[in-house]
Structures are given as structure tokens and as C-alpha cells.
Structure 1
């Protein structure tokens, strides 16, 4: 990696939720770290000055779930292609679920992902180690070895453990090594074969349904096991009102449980399936307006402490065919910021609160105090964005290898101007 230059970012509105800072001021960087905020130290001569007048300067975003598809699924995306998309989106750290090929169930795969991401130097990729060998839900992995290899947490990706005894043992083992466990709250039997929310819209469209109970049954089981084992669990991608209500109740009792929500769940609903757009085929499915309102409220109240892209790039063929037969998931990195800014426009969060749930909120879930903040001495991971910039999502400006977005052709507000990773400019518009 190249050495980081000495930089000054001048006249921007600096927002750092970790310190509560919100002021128009200057930011000075050297040796990959924040050197000073406000006046430059005596004798400091920047190699380059960025004029951020009228722009927001904040910590680089931390995304808890973004698939980079490498190794093994390079026809969908690569660490290089999605690193470029992440950098253009203000994301400086992302978590990669373990459903690569081979699965991240041994230290060698985790180290390979670290090595490739460092070679490209566009985004910090934190692999999530598999809870079970091959994600089979039967044999627990060597979690201590995965932690030593740089796995930030444990996960089953979207393949829940069916055997509750195995789930319990896995949580006990993870607790021993102080590893958070990311859980997708979805009962595999109740959700089998479904592609839409089980309700009036899905029934009218003739789409196989996934009931609310598919989420709440899984949440109930995992909260009970977390309480029993003392493990620290994180619900990755809650989608129902009852699910977040159960999480809030458990948090009030002191259970070590957190949750996030994918941004598309906050702006889309089951009604967006009306035209059978396969890019709206996501798991968990798009739910009701009432669920969306409850998710927004839980975000505002701090029950959900992170926003996520749930980025799943696909090749074009994966989205062809009848709706239920298409691959679930959407490409979400490049719409992360504008969709988050919609929450500000709608009065769900203020700008500080929005940035908090993209930076220090997810960093705290990972127990990474070195991420998501801008204070003297901290990593110089910086996002500079224009909250008023209006742009149209178009194929010729789309960066991710996966073009499976339901927002293609839509006009969005909010765009990244610069992204810095460890003090180096990795994206400049």
C-alpha cells in the first residue's frame, strides 16, 4: 500500500457522533491518522488541501453486511469491483459474510480475503467466520483460530442452524472467545420456498409467502439462548414490528443483543412487488407499511443501532425467470447514503443520528473502538459528501459489478465527493 499523504480538509461541516462534534472546521491528517481538528499544528504543511465548503465531513461508513463474492463467485463480483463501489459510497469498512466458495470456516480463507483486500487497498474487508463447518449447521468451527485470522464476528450467512442444541453450543463457544455472533432471524422451515411477505399483496400476486412468524420464532429462540449462554448476539436484518419489539424487551432485561436493518426495508414495502421486479426479491422479504414504520421507530429510539446495505451483487442471469425462481438480494452499496438521507428528510433521524448509525453504531457492535470516529490519533477513515447533490441512478455510472438494484433510473439526493481510507484518497468524484 502507498504511504498516506499529509492532507487538510478545509471548511467542511465536521460531524463526529463519537465526540458529539458538529461544526464547520478543518481536519488535518498525517501518517494515516487524524492529526488535528481546527487549527493546523505549527509547521504542518499539507501535500494537498481539499475544499469541503458546503459539504459534510464524517467518519468513513462501516457496513455490517456486504458480499464481495470473492473467492469463488467472481462471475457476480470481486473484492476489486465491490471495493470500488464501497469507496464511491463512503464505506471504508465492510463485513463479508462467510458464504464464499470455499466457506470462511478456516483461517486460510479469512487470510486470503484480508490479503486480496489489502492488495487493492480500496476498502477494509472484515471477514465473518462461519459458525459451523461448511455452514452445514452441524459441526462447530475452530472459532479461536478464526478470530486469530482476523474474523470480526461469527455468522451463518443466510443459513440458520436448525439444531437448537448445536446453536446453543456454538453460542457458548463464541462467548468463551468474546466473539459476537451475527444471526439472520429466519426460521428455515417457516420460510422455505417463500419469496414475499405472507399477506394480502403476496396472496393477490400469487407469490409464495414468508410469514412474520418465520422471523419471530427465530428471534425468540436466539434471545432465549443468548440469555442462557451469555453470548453477545446481533440480529442481522430485522424486518418485522414484532421482531424489533421482542429485541427491545430483551435489551431491557439486559440480554446482550443488538440489531440492524437493511436500508431497503425502510424505503420499500410489499407494494413494490406489484410489477414483479426481481430486484425487489429480497430475503427477508419486503414487509408491510406497519412493519416499515416500526423499524423506523426502533431506529429512532436506539433499539436498532446500525443501518446496513445488505449488499448482494448478482450477475444478470440470476435475476431472470419467474419471480420466485430468481436469486434474492439487491446491490445496495451505492444507494446506502442517499437512502439513509431519506430518513433525515422524513424526520426519522437527524443528520448526527444518521451518521451515528453508519459509523460508531456498527463499530460498537463489532467492538472496534478504532473505527467510526474522527478524533486526534484515530484512523483517518473519512467520508466527505454533499447532502444536496441530486443524481440519477444509471447503468453508465453504476460501479458495482452487480447491477441488480430496484432504484435504476431513480433520482436520489446525496452523493460522496471524497473517501479516504487510512488517510489515502481512495475515491474522488
Structure 2
């Protein structure tokens, strides 16, 4: 049933995850005007005093909002594939409170003035990565210090490693200071024009293949650069292969750079995805079943740091192009939590705290943010129901993008409410 968002609510015996390392516990939580007013203790007494509606929340999880360390938005104002308004709305409804945008845009965000003017309409925390080189051309350095002074959280490049000479120059000059430098270990010249990792499954399907060396060789170079410049904070973006994971595992933990993995690479591979399904065309490409299993295990072990949405929206016209001619990418913040809950918590036995570490606590550290937590008076909370079944095609909170790989069928697990988007209230159970 739909309820007045201003009506006080007592979540009776909800599963509470207050902060990293706190562990799950059950307690009553009072929410009023979208803010946490009481946790445990006298929450029930306060609820009675203010006439709160009591909901049986034993199957729900209350935790801090999720953090997306990198996604893309090419045309924030008038984009036909996605605008800032549609991205903000869908990300908040999916349980995300923070989204960091890479510099790729119709006007590449590589100068201080291009980092201004992107202001969300609501309560989404929008962060911007600056650019390592001008327009990701790899020809010359963008003004690192000026971008950071203008508010960039760090520096990032496009969809491959910059030339090593330029990378060495930028790290040696040191204008980036201790800000993160996020780089994709990929050499497009080694990809052979393929869009699926080489393997038995790709050969059987007849897809053009991309050898794993297009990731492992540039990764070796990036690791060498990180060792050469230990004072710089080199981060790795979207690791995708078993070989790449092995290279990171071989390093002592204190020498291992932080690294992200795209949520889609944790869920799909060349042996599990239907040949006509959405989601084949991504950069880096989908790997083999062994690649996917290695990525999942590396995330569980802490070899990989955090999960990124890496939202890349395409419009309906672009989506009509043949697979080998359209832009790469998948879209949809709303699929990440329910799909990874099914895959990692239910199938692989992860705890809720492990998943929140990968989707919230670790991404916040990667971006240099304060540790997310629940606190009294705050609107920084989400309620997730792992057992709620829903159909994305009937959900009005989705993004504009046409390339949503899990948009058909039924999903299990949904964000019911968030303090950051008061109009979202999917309370649909009987009162306690």
C-alpha cells in the first residue's frame, strides 16, 4: 500500500547494518520525515508517542546508500539516452546515494570550466573525475592541478591505457598529488577488433575474440608504473580476466593497487549469456566462465576493491545498430543490488555485510569519502527487501537508456525506500 511519506514509521525488528564492521543486528527503527529518529532502545516508545505506523520489517535490510565509483553521462542537459535528471532519479531509486562520473562527455571534462554546472536536482551526491589527458587523446596532459582545484575527485582516462611516456610524465610531474589516477588496463591495438574474450565458448558462438593479453600486458605496465611512483595513487578500472586477477594476487597486499570490477562482469560470461540477449557489447569484453569465477573470488578475497556500475547509456536509435557497430556499454543502476544479491549472497554464500562492503564501504574509500554509516537525524539510508519480486518493464523509476541487460522478465530483490528520495515508498506489507 502507498503511505504518506510524512507519516512516522516504525520498522519492527529490521535487519540493521550501521557501518562497516558493525555486523547485522535486529532492532526497531523509527523513521520520521525521511530521517532516522531512533534506533533500538526507546524507538518503540517514541513510535507510540508520535502515532507511528508499525511495519513488520523482519525480512528487510536497513543500511547506508550505495556508492558508484565510476559511470558515464555524455549529455547531462538534453541527452536522448540519459540526462542528469533521469540518471539521478533512477540511481536514487536503486539505492545509490553517490555516483562519480568519468570525464567522457559531448564536451570532454578535461578543463576546470567543464567541471562546473553539473548540479543534481535532488539529493544525489554527484562527483566528477577529471581527465588525465586532453580529450583522452593520449597526446598531451590535461591541467591536473587546475582540475583538482576545481573539484575533481581524481583523474581518469578513456577506455585504454594512455601512452606510457605520457603516463610517466604525468606521474613524475606530480600535479595530481595524492589524488587517485584511475586507469583501464587495456590496449586496444592488441584487441584484434574482437568483442568477446578468447575461449571455447566464444569460438563456438562465432564471435570475434579479444585475447586476454590486451589486458594483462598493459596491466603489467601499470603495475610497474605504480611501483616506480609509490607516492601516486594509481587505481585500476574494470578488471575483467583471470590473468589480470592472477597478476594482482602475486603482489604483496601493501603493493596492490585498488581495483574495480564492473557488476556485469560478475554476472555474465560467454558461456552463460544467451546469444540474442542484451549485454554482449561491453569494454572490456565479457570473459569466459573461468574469468567470471576468478573475478568473484578476487572480490571476496579483497584482491579487487569495489564494484562499479559503469553505467553507459545508449538511446533506442543506437541500439538498433548491428552489434559490431554500436557503442559498447550496459546501463541500469537498478539491477546491481538485486542481481548481485542473488548471485553472491544466495548462490555463493556471501554475507550482507560482504556485499555492502563491495557496493558501498569500499567504493567510498576508493573515492576518498568519509565512511558511510547510519546515524540519528540522517536521511542517508536505504531499505532493501531481498525477497521482493518485481518486473523492471513495469517499474516507473528506471533510466531512459535502451541498453538495459536485465530489463525483461522478473527480478527478486528491490529497494523499497530511501531517505534520499522521499517520494519512493514501496512499503507493501501488512502492518505488524
Q: Which of 70, 79, 87 in structure 2 is aligned with 1:65?
A: 70
Instruction: Look up the match of 1:16.
Output: 18
Shift of 1:335: 0.3
Q: Could you tell me how far apart the structure 1 residues matched to 2:425 and 2:83 are?
A: 21
* Partners of 2:68 and 2:307 within 8 A in 1: yes
The alpha carbon displacement at 1:61 in A equals 0.2
SS in 1 for 2:424: strand
Unpaired stretches in structure 2, ≥5 consecutive residues: 427-432
- Secondary structure of the 2:279 match is helix
Residue 424 (structure 2) pairs with residue 427 (structure 1): yes
CA distance in structure 1 between the partners assigned to 2:52 and 2:125 by the alignment? 23
SS of 1:427's equivalent in the other structure is coil
Whether the aligned pair in 2 keeps the contact of 1:175 and 1:232 (CA below 8 Å) is: no
> Could you tell me how far 1:148 is from its partner in structure 2?
2.4
Q: Any idea what SS the aligned residue of 1:238 has?
A: coil
Return closer, same or farther for 1:409/1:165 CA change in 2, 3 Å cut-off.
same
* CA-atom RMSD in angstroms: 2.9
The CA distance in 1 between the partners of 2:206 and 2:46, in whole Å, is 69
Shift of 1:259: 1.3
Q: Deviations over 1:133-181 (max 9, x none)?
A: 11111222222222222222211132431x2011122234457521111
Would you say the 8 A contact 1:65–1:308 is kept in 2?
yes
The aligned counterpart of 2:102 is 97
Q: Aligned partners of 2:7 and 2:193: how far apart in 1?
A: 54
Deviates most, 215-224 or 399-408: 399-408
CA deviation profile, 1:164-212 (whole Å, cap 9, x unmatched): 0111222344575211111112112112522111223333333222111
Query: Are 1:391 and 2:376 counterparts?
Result: no
User: Is the aligned partner of 1:211 residue 2:211?
Assistant: yes
CA–CA separation in structure 2 for the residues paired with 1:348 and 1:154:
36
Which whole-Å CA distance do the structure 2 matches of 1:52 and 1:372 have between them?
26
| 1:208-229 Cα distance to aligned partner (Å, 9 max, x none) | 2211111111211111101101
Aligned with 2:84 (options 79, 86, 96):
79
Higher gyration radius (CA): 2
Partner Cα separation in structure 2 for residue 334 and residue 49 of structure 1: 28
Q: CA contact under 8 A between 1:71 and 1:102: conserved in structure 2? A: no
Structure 2 CA distance for partners of 1:174 and 1:417, relative to 1, 3 Å: farther
- 3-state SS, counterpart of residue 248 of structure 2: helix
- 1:101, 1:181 → 2: CA distance? 22
CA distance in structure 1 between the aligned counterparts of 2:39 and 2:274, rounded to whole angstroms: 50
Change (3 A) 1:357 1:426: farther
* Structure 2 match to 1:126: 127
Paired with 2:17 and 2:72, the residues of 1 have a C-alpha distance of 28
Q: Is the 8 A contact 2:134 2:142 kept in 1?
A: yes
Change (3 A) 1:174 1:248: farther
Query: Is the Cα–Cα contact under 8 Å of residues 30 and 36 in structure 2 kept in the other structure?
Result: yes
In structure 1, distance between residues paired with 2:174 and 2:55: 46
Task: For residue 416 of structure 1, give the secondary structure of its aligned residue in structure 2.
Answer: strand
Shift of 1:260: 1.8
SS of 2:399 mapped into structure 1: coil
What residue is the counterpart of 2:403 in the other structure?
A: 404
How far 1:43 sits from its partner (Å)? 8.7
Structure 1 gaps, min length 5:
none
Measure the CA separation in 2 of the matches of 1:357 and 1:363.
10
Contact 2:35/2:419 (<8 A) preserved: no
User: How far apart are the structure 2 equivalents of 1:43 and 1:339?
Assistant: 36
Q: In structure 2, how many angstroms separate the alpha carbons of the residues matched to 1:47 and 1:147?
A: 49
- The answer to whether the 8 A contact 1:223-1:255 is kept is no
- 48 and 257 in structure 1: CA distance in 2 versus 1, 3 angstrom threshold: farther
My pick for the range that moved more, 271-280 or 33-42, is 33-42
TM-superposed CA distance for 1:38, in Å, is 2.5
SS in 1 for 2:324: helix
Question: 2:155 is matched with which residue?
Answer: 154
CA 50–78 in structure 1, closer or farther in 2 if over 3 Å, else same: farther
1:80-103 per-position Cα deviation (integer Å, ceiling 9, x unaligned):
001111011000101111101211
Q: Give runs of aligned pairs for residues 2-401 of structure 1, distance below 5 A.
A: 10-11=11-12, 12-27=14-29, 37-39=39-41, 51=55, 53-54=57-58, 55-71=60-76, 74-113=79-118, 115=119, 117=120, 120-161=121-162, 163-173=163-173, 176-191=176-191, 193-230=193-230, 231-252=232-253, 254-255=254-255, 257-272=257-272, 275-342=275-342, 343-369=344-370, 371-375=371-375, 380-394=379-393, 397=396, 399-401=398-400
Q: CA deviation at 1:401?
A: 0.5
